[in-house]
Amino acid sequence: MIQTEKFYRFLDNSTSPFFVIKNSSEILDKAGFKCLSFEEDWSLQKGGSYYIKLYDTALFAFRVGKSVSDDIILRMAAAHTDFPSFRVKPNPEMREKGYIRLNTESYGGMVLSSWFDRPLSISGKVSLRSEQLFLPKEVLIDIKKPLMVIPNLAIHLNREVNNGVEINKQKDVLPILGMADDEDIHNYFKNYLAQHLNVSAEDILDYDLFIYNLDKAYPAGVSDEFICAPRLDDLSSVYALIQGIINQVDDKDIHMICLFDNEEIGNRTKQGSASLFTTMLLEKIFQTLGKGRMELYEVLHRSFILSVDVAQAYHPNYPAKFDPTNTAELNKGVAIKIDTAQRYAYDTGAIAILQQLCEEYKIPYQKFVNRSDATAGGTMGPVISTQLPARTVDIGVPLLAMHSAVETMGTKDLDSIIRLMEAFFSAER
């Protein structure tokens, strides 16, 4: 129960990838992980715990075993810090009668209808003028109060609303921020930010700001068997990975968690899972430990990567959407995701390794396959395993209403994914 409460707070406070990384680093700091900077020389201790941030939206934490020897493997797990939401455009003010709306674009695949009539706020990073050309001042911001709303259209004005209505991203879902007279509209949003940050509006050069659902995480169901919350995809996995590496006990291998940004828009960014950075980081770790690049490649060949992202849970109202024999249900354990087109990474040996691990630690699991006439959504596994050709499996907790403003997972599955991550980083080979 204490674990669930902590998880709720993590979700509530992780309102943009920037804050996912901020909150993750604070947990790692408390657990004794040392923050490293890539451009410095390192001296890594055997038994040491470290982490490194990448552009404030990605993070890598690793532990070097106390007795690392020549036959080590890398045990790596990845999750993603981003989630579908609206992003505020530059010059966002739009006036309609006395209303001020914000011009936004959608980030990732959103269930747009779920964003109507919610308490919405803003979270992200603002870049400020500085004395140094190549070093702007960057500050994080989370407004934390209901700042906007996207009101539905009344049913009386839209009689077809329950028969499937098209929602246009440019005109139907612009949030209302306030009321103002014509003369006040110039720099209305920038002025608000400046006031909130206690800086001059002229010093605000740019921003990366997301609109988030302020609804808090809550337990639901007769026996609290469900967790409903915004951002469960993929912060449930991020949280589990952090618990896993903090509580790991193996002292022979190198353990790493990778919290990547930009999975929802295809991974191909400097801080996404397609980035060269993961390889560069591993090379630097190996070099610092007195091992060469070829040794890294040899170790990689026998290593194991878990790509942890949520899976489509069986939805009782839509049985026809699911495979006849391989569905994932809430509270029945971690889903092993299988797709013959390799939109999920796996091979049979890798799945066997995972099953043995689950069975040894009594962690429930289920195999998930899409219908043969449906296409799997993309995730990180195939991208990571082409950059780092180690055995990789895509897994995750089953989730209802994926990419909705509020998603639903099983309470027992939180325990299962945390225990699986702890087991992965602790099991004897």
Q: Which residues bind to Zn ion, rule: CB under 5 A? A: 233-234, 309
Q: Which is nearer to Zn ion, 142 or 234 (CB)?
A: 234
- Burial (CB < 10 A; 0-12, 13-18, 19+), residue 208, is middle
Q: CA-CA distances (angstroms) from residue 332 to 12, 59, 277, 393?
A: 25, 30, 36, 19
* Residue 420 tokens, joined: 């699986």
Whichever of 56 and 234 has its CB closer to Zn ion, that residue is 234
Can you tell me the distance from the alpha carbon of 232 to that of 397, in angstroms, rounded to the nearest whole number?
10
What are the tokens at 221?
A: 């169901």
Tell me how far, at minimum, the Cβ of 396 lies from Zn ion, in Å.
8
Q: Of the two residues 56 and 261, which places its CB atom closer to Zn ion in the complex?
A: 261
Residue closest to 260 by CA, chosen among 21, 10, 13: 21
Taking the complex as a whole, the smallest distance from the CB of residue 427 to Zn ion amounts, in Å, to 25
Nearer to Zn ion, 204 or 217 (CB): 217
Nearer to Zn ion, 150 or 258 (CB): 258
The residue type of 58 is A
Q: How far is the CB of 80 from Zn ion (least distance, A)?
A: 6
Q: Cα(55)–Cα(50) distance, rounded to whole angstroms?
A: 17
The least distance separating Zn ion from the CB of residue 260, rounded to whole angstroms, comes to: 10
CB-nearer residue toward Zn ion: 309 or 422? 309
Give me the half-sphere count of Cα atoms (radius 13 Å) on the Cβ side of residue 56: 13
The single-letter code of the amino acid at 133 is: L
Cβ closer to Zn ion: 194 or 395?
A: 395
Q: How far apart are CA 76 and CA 57, in angstroms?
A: 19
Closest to Zn ion by CB, 234 or 407: 234
Q: Give CA–CA dist 24/41, Å, rounded.
A: 24
Contacts of 340 (CB under 8 A, 6+ apart): none
The CB-of-234 to Zn ion minimum distance in angstroms stands at 4
CB-CB contact of 190 with 102 (8 Å): no
| Widest pairwise Cα distance in the chain | 72
Closer residue to Zn ion (CB): 83 or 115: 83
Report the nearest approach of Zn ion to the CB of residue 184 (Å).
40
Q: Report the C-alpha gap between 380 and 7 in whole angstroms.
A: 23
Q: How far apart are CA 21 and CA 4, in angstroms?
A: 20
Kindly tell me the number of DSSP H helices and DSSP E strands found in the chain: 9, 20
Where in 191-310 does DSSP place strands (E)?
204-213, 218-220, 226-229, 254-260, 304-308
Closest separation in Å from C-beta 242 to Zn ion: 16
Q: In angstroms, what is the minimal distance from the CB of 410 to Zn ion?
A: 17
User: Minimum distance from CB of 238 to Zn ion (Å)?
Assistant: 10
User: What is the CA 330 to chain-centroid distance, rounded?
Assistant: 20
Beta strand 226-229 with 218-220 is: antiparallel
Rg (CA), the chain: 23
Closest separation between CB of residue 82 and Zn ion, Å?
Answer: 8
Q: Of 84 and 333, which has the nearer Cβ to Zn ion? A: 84
